[in-house]
């Protein structure tokens, strides 16, 4: 056992810190109830999707797999992980070795996609806290700005795609307008934070405290990130925001192409603008705090509503959604192999 432990670098002590933090911040009864409710919802929704298909359809998926698209799917997912690591390294602007930043992203994505989003966020903050020179406040700030940049990219995609397919989404026009307005308001409020700095953040904090929303971990970490943001000098904030939005736009484009390989992997064809619209909606659905296990059930149920709007057969597509979910978990497990591999080589390098 000792020999196995010697293969692990000291940075993996972040795992211990992660579990210690989790044990020290034991979830409340409300939190436990909410997590159970999310699991039940995921099971119910994925059960509904399963009921729309059959074992014969699932087995027949093997004949539909396009292996060229599958290879591209794998390559693009690795590329997404690598680019997200570059995004964090660029935003943090600290002398952290790039391979180590990749390990943080791999762990964050793995926990977010296989466990829960909150677990991924905590792992990101805890692992970076273990790095010399990385303050928790700055890590939280970078996380918040990056997510706002991601939201901006999704907003642009939703606005652009809906313009070209407006006639086909009659049933979703009101929802689309509401989402564009709501996200636009959120982005405007962020710009006010950047422009007005401390005064506006104090107002936001006061409202959140009075409404007791700061009890929600994600909101509390977001407030910490905003507080750290206003403590930066104005020029630094503008440069960081511009960089974050630019990188998030590139990341969204990569996500779009990767998502497209998912459906092409199972020989499903769809136009560019309809798929861009669906991708934007599903990205927004993933933000809603009702998902667990990488959006299990919620993503599939949403897709069952969206894809038929553009001519996709819902009966045959149900089996494809199950296949996509299986592939999603497999690729996440494959990427997690980076952690022991990186640990092995870092341990050898430290000994040499």
pLDDT digits (tens, 9 = 90+) for 306-350: 999 999 998 889 999 999 999 999 999 999 999 899 888 888 777
What average pLDDT does the structure give for the chain?
Answer: 81
Q: pLDDT (tens digit, 9 = 90+) per residue, 102-130?
A: 988 898 888 777 766 555 555 565 566 65
Decide: 221 and 143 in contact? Cβ < 8 Å: yes
User: Is the Cβ–Cβ distance between 147 and 226 less than 8 Å?
Assistant: no
Cβ–Cβ under 8 Å, residues 255 and 262:
no
CA distance 42 to 114: 13
Which has the higher per-residue pLDDT, 350 or 132?
350
Q: pLDDT of 212-247, one tens digit each?
A: 666 666 677 666 666 666 666 666 777 888 898 999
- Give the residue, 295 or 175, on which the prediction is more confident: 175
Predicted local confidence at residue 93, as pLDDT: 74
DSSP of 66-99 = -HHHHHHHHHHHHHHHHHHHHHHHHHHTS---HH
| Whether the predicted pLDDT of 22 surpasses 60 | no
Q: Is the pLDDT of residue 9 over 70?
A: no
155-168 pLDDT, tens digit per residue, is 999 999 999 999 99
pLDDT at 91: 82
pLDDT > 70? residue 178: yes
Mean pLDDT of 40-52: 92
Asked whether the predicted pLDDT for residue 265 surpasses 80, the reply is yes
| Residue 177 pLDDT exceeds 60 | yes
In this predicted structure, what is the pLDDT of residue 215?
67
* Structure-model confidence comparison of residues 79 and 18, the more confident one: 79
68-82, 129-143, 175-189: least confident range: 129-143
Give residue 329's pLDDT.
Answer: 93
**What pLDDT digit, counting tens, does each position of 56-98 carry?**
889 999 889 999 999 999 999 999 999 999 988 888 776 778 8
Residue 315 has what pLDDT?
A: 85
CB 284 within 8 A of CB 274: no
Q: pTM for the whole thing? A: 0.81
CA distance 144 to 244: 10
- Which conformational region is residue 93 in: left (phi greater than 0), alpha (psi within -120 to 50 degrees), or beta? left
Write the secondary structure of 275-312 as one string of H (helix), E (strand) and C (coil).
HHHHHHHHHHHHHCCCCCCCCCCHHHHHHHHHHHHHCC
């Amino acid at each position: 056992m000792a020999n196995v432990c010697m293969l692990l670098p000291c940075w993996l002590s972040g795992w211990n810190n992660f579990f210690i933090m989790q044990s020290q911040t034991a979830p409340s009864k409300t939190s436990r109830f909410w997590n159970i409710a999310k699991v039940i919802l995921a099971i119910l929704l994925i059960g509904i999707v399963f009921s729309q298909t059959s074992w014969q359809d699932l087995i027949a998926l093997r004949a539909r797999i396009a292996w060229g698209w599958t290879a591209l799917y794998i390559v693009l997912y690795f590329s997404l992980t690598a680019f997200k690591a570059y995004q964090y390294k660029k935003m943090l602007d600290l002398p952290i070795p790039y391979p180590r930043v990749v390990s943080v992203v791999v762990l964050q994505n793995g926990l977010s996609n296989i466990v829960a989003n909150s677990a991924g966020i905590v792992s990101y903050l805890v692992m970076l806290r273990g790095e010399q020179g990385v303050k928790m406040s700055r890590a939280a700030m970078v996380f918040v700005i990056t997510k706002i940049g991601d939201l901006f990219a999704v907003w642009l995609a939703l606005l652009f795609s809906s313009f070209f397919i407006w006639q086909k989404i009659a049933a979703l026009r009101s929802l689309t307008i509401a989402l564009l307005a709501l996200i636009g308001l959120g982005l405007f409020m962020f710009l006010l934070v950047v422009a007005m700095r401390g005064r506006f953040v104090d107002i936001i904090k006061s409202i959140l405290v009075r409404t007791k929303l700061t009890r929600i971990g994600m909101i509390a970490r977001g407030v910490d990130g905003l507080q750290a943001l206003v403590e930066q000098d104005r020029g630094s904030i503008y440069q960081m925001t511009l960089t974050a939005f630019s990188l998030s736009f590139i990341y969204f484009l990569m996500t779009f192409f990767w998502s497209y390989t998912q459906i092409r992997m199972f020989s499903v064809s769809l136009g560019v603008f309809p798929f861009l619209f669906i991708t934007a909606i599903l990205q927004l659905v993933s933000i809603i705090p009702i998902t667990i296990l990488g959006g299990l059930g919620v993503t599939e149920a949403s897709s069952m509503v969206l894809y038929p709007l553009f001519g996709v057969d819902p009966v045959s597509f149900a089996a494809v959604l199950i296949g996509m979910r299986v592939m999603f978990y497999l690729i996440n497990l494959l990427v997690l192999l980076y952690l022991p591999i990186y640990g092995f080589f870092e341990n050898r390098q430290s000994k040499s």
